Structure 1
Amino acid sequence: MMRVGTWNIHRGRAAFGRFRPELATEVIAELGCDLLALQEAQHYLARGKPMLEEEAIRARTGLVPLRVTVGQQGFRSNILMAREGARVLRGPVGVRLGGMEPRGAIMTDLDLGHGPVRVLVAHLSLGAGRRAMQARVLLDAMREWPHLPALILGDLNERRLDQGALSVLVPECGVPPQVATFPAFRPLLALDRVLSHPAGLVARLWAHDTPAARRASDHLPLLAEVALGAR
């Protein structure tokens, strides 16, 4: 069983608070992930300046970032971290999703000892129409040859199954459980998602709700146990 997570760290700020990215390091150390997707985890104006304490995270968790661009910790605010020793089969590459913000995704094929898997990490736009278009880009990337089991991790900014991104993704990935992660101080909305193709690879899904997580961002981390052999 592989533990994966996704977390929007809100540019190193809680819902109401100052810039304190070191709090994210404390929470990441709590998660115990083999694979972790982060959103809003890159400086927008100083992209060559790391936001997170990379060496501290590696020392405490064994997680290292998979870089799309040399010299940058993330790609369009996304970071994908994998356990040291993970075998990278392809990538990681950046996938441009368009939008005013602009948005992007990271795609890579990995083997963490459970078999090969394609991983897509994304943070989608605020408009439902734009999110549906971005979801179609993710599906096209997921279907690329070679065909592998796939995980889509990220903040999809989508709470309804019949609108926007989820109206596109659910027919391929199945209906995901509704796990509220936003806002962190009183979670009401399921904006963060772990989806799989084929459906049924996610054995368990839960929010990591701790005092430290509530202080570190306006989202709670979303964790999942994934069994790549399941159907």
Structure 2
Amino acid sequence: MSIAPLASAHCPGDWRRDVIVSSRMLELDCITWNLHRCRGRDAQIDPDRTVRVLCDLLSDAAPGLCILTEADDEQPPYGALLDLDRIQEVSGLATAHTDLSLRWGDSSHGFLGTIVLHDPRVEIVDGCLLDLPGVYPRGATILTCRAAGHDFRVIATHLSLGQPLRVAQMRAVGQYLARHRDLPALLIGDLNEWRPWGGFAFSRGVAHRSFTGPARRSYPAVFPMLPLDRIMATAPFRVENAHVLRSPELVETSDHLPLRATVTLA
């Protein structure tokens, strides 16, 4: 299944896209963006600005998967910041957190600030929330998905800054993967790994599976130097055409820039 934007102008609520369905190939466009809890370069918390810029981004070319980090409030009860109804209306995407069991609480849109949006043709078969070790609360939203006849797993997360904690957190993810059906997996979000070669945390010895993907510099937004935001995958997934999106509006909206890539599964 290939999900791509039409060249025609976008109107609110009109999210038609060209779709090619193949029983042999899945092509899934993915975006991840750390929203910095709606705090812009001017240090002002402005959810309306964040929603406006995000809607412009998604309406131009709505992806199959969109993983947002730091998208809910920073403190318990991790309350919602975004006008999620507006985002869904403009983009045509659906939230994976309709079930309360996939949110931190009834006032949250996601889990510890991470929100998963998906094309409705990407079916959410099941999901769980995985608490990750560390003093500062971290977690992963793990979803089993189905599209174009393929089952796969999506792990959406925001990992810790320190390498030892990232290793411990990915070890917890790896233990989950080892206990469940072996499926191709996507690891998407702010992984806080600055080294371009990927890092020990994403190796087979730690995570049960080897996660790989291009490193593109997404932080800080004004002059990107570090590839903190990643779209990574296990075989037989391939991550292709990874690139950081940049515009004056994106730079003003968050301290991270969005990352976009296509993942293919034969």
Q: TM-score, normalised by structure 2?
A: 0.78
CA 1:100–1:202 in 2, change beyond 3 Å: closer, same or farther? same
The answer to which of 212-221 and 112-121 deviates more is 112-121
Structure 1 residue 185, shift from structure 2 partner: 0.8
Structure 1 residue 24, shift from structure 2 partner: 2.8
SS of 2:148 mapped into structure 1: coil
8 Å contact from structure 2 (residues 163, 201) kept in 1: no
Paired with 2:138 and 2:192, the residues of 1 have a C-alpha distance of 12
Q: 1:87 aligns with which of 110, 123, 126?
A: 123
SS of 2:49 mapped into structure 1: helix
Identity of matched residues, %: 29
Aligned residues: 226
The CA deviation string for residues 71-108 of structure 1, in whole angstroms up to 9 with x for no partner, is 221111111111234311111x1110021111111001
Q: 2:202 aligns with which of 164, 169, 179?
A: 169
Structure 1 residue 34, shift from structure 2 partner: 1.2
CA 1:152–1:183 in 2, change beyond 3 Å: closer, same or farther? same
CA 1:27–1:173 in 2, change beyond 3 Å: closer, same or farther? farther
8 Å contact from structure 1 (residues 174, 200) kept in 2: no
Coordinate RMSD, CA, aligned: 2.1
Structure 1 residue 114, shift from structure 2 partner: 5.9
The CA deviation string for residues 45-76 of structure 1, in whole angstroms up to 9 with x for no partner, is 36364211111111110122212136221111
CA 1:199–1:211 in 2, change beyond 3 Å: closer, same or farther? farther
CA 1:14–1:62 in 2, change beyond 3 Å: closer, same or farther? same
CA 1:161–1:203 in 2, change beyond 3 Å: closer, same or farther? closer
Q: Does 1:22 align with 2:48?
A: yes
Paired with 2:74 and 2:220, the residues of 1 have a C-alpha distance of 22
8 Å contact from structure 1 (residues 139, 169) kept in 2: no
Q: TM-score, normalised by structure 1?
A: 0.89
Q: Which has the higher contact order (CA 8 A, sep 6+)?
A: 1
Q: Where does the alignment leave 5 or more consecutive residues of structure 2 unmatched? A: 1-26
Q: Which amino acid is 2:166 matched to?
A: R
Aligned residue for 2:182? 147
8 Å contact from structure 1 (residues 26, 212) kept in 2: no
CA 1:34–1:27 in 2, change beyond 3 Å: closer, same or farther? farther
8 Å contact from structure 2 (residues 214, 232) kept in 1: no
SS of 1:227 mapped into structure 2: strand
The answer to which of 136-145 and 99-108 deviates more is 136-145
Aligned residue for 2:17? none
Paired with 1:143 and 1:202, the residues of 2 have a C-alpha distance of 23
Q: Where does the alignment leave 5 or more consecutive residues of structure 1 unmatched? A: none
CA 1:23–1:139 in 2, change beyond 3 Å: closer, same or farther? farther
